Amino acid sequence: MIWILFLVGFLLPSWFHAGTINQMVTIALNIITPDYFFTLSFIIALFFSMILGTSVGTLSSIGIPIMGTAIALHLPSDIVAGALVSGAFVGDRTSPFSSAHQLLAHTVEITVKKQWKAMSLTTVLAIVLGIIFYRFLDIHFLHNFSITIYSSEKMELSFIKFLPPIVLIVMVLFRYKILYAFIFSITIACFLSFLDGIKIGELLTSLWEGIDGLGGGLANMYLLLLFLALAGAYNGLLEELKVIQTLLDRWLQASHSLLNDTIKTMIATLGITLVAANQTLPIILTGRSFLAHWSAKYSNEELARVMGDSTMLFPGIVPWSVLTIMCSTIMGVSIFEYFSYAVFLWILPILTIGVSIVKTGKRKRNLLESH
């Protein structure tokens, strides 16, 4: 896990110098039309985040130019920010290239493939509802617009510059270890950077410090790596000494249904997020603390679904969370302004409760039929 996070810090800077990020942004800005501005902002941010695996990187790369375009057209900035943050969190939560997604899979002790399958129902529902939601806003707010936005940059594309993300995706699809996929993608991006005339000193500086306004860089990751190692050690002590587990077991004993356990898990993870104000600690503490109960009564996949629809998103909702502050700062819009339009953040907890209600009903019917 730490090695994957280590490599994530090199991904964005190497792709930036290879020209990959700029080409993706150019394509995105050339296909947006005002009639579908909110919907396309959501879809483009979704696409970027699934490739980059980071909400902050997505908002920094594509979110800023789209917000600039929206402001120039006098479109509601709170709606645009909500659409972009929604799309950015799709990949932050769901992409196999996301460090948070990888961390959750390791924490609840399942493969990324099984976790993806467990999250698929609520993911698809949330995306479809998001598209409907933003299309409704397009119709309501943008019916007077009839022009097309084109990027000021000339549309000159090169297939070679898309090799880094293509290699990354293909290797994952062919079930190579994601560690190797990251290494090959970064290596190819660095080679392309040299072909474009980037000097080795400039590249090494960017790999260490990151790219201004985009992020990445090992200097911005090593504290997270250290924190992750300490959090893992801290949680290992809690597990060994059973400090929290005894209290949780007593609290969960009163639960007799998937719905009750879902709600209690969501309450607990929200409480941890309110205190921790980051994404890493809630994933580790919630996952390890509730794993034994869920694996015994239901399955690890069910816990992954509930946490994916709550623990992964709450750090983007809590106003004093580092992730929320970073997103609102990049967008230039307060969380209190765009939250109601960030449909992906608040619809998933509702959907996962709905799924648990349906599954609880099925379990009860099966028990009655068996008797």
* Chain-centre distance for alpha carbon 159: 27
The answer to whether position 369 is within a domain reads no
The answer to whether position 142 is within a domain reads yes
The answer to whether position 118 is within a domain reads yes
Same structural domain for residues 90 and 65? yes
d(CA 235, CA 318): 23
Of 220, 245, 268, the last residue of a domain is: 220
User: Which of 23, 92, 100 is CA-nearest to residue 344?
Assistant: 92
Same structural domain for residues 190 and 241? no
- Coil, strand or helix at 95: coil
Q: Which parts of the chain register pLDDT below 50?
A: 146-153
Q: What Cα–Cα distance (Å) separates residue 220 from each residue in 10, 19, 89, 165, 367?
A: 10, 22, 20, 22, 52
The answer to whether position 370 is within a domain reads no
Structurally, how many domains does the chain consist of?
2
Of 220, 238, 258, the last residue of a domain is: 220
Same structural domain for residues 258 and 148? no
Question: 314 and 100 in contact (C-beta within 8 Å)?
Answer: no
pTM of the model: 0.74
Question: 312 and 356 in contact (C-beta within 8 Å)?
Answer: no
Same structural domain for residues 21 and 129? yes
Same structural domain for residues 101 and 237? no
Q: Which long-range contacts (C-beta less than 8 Å, at least 24 apart) are formed by 156-160?
A: 157/23, 157/26, 157/27, 158/19, 158/23, 160/192
- Domain span at residue 53 reads 2-220
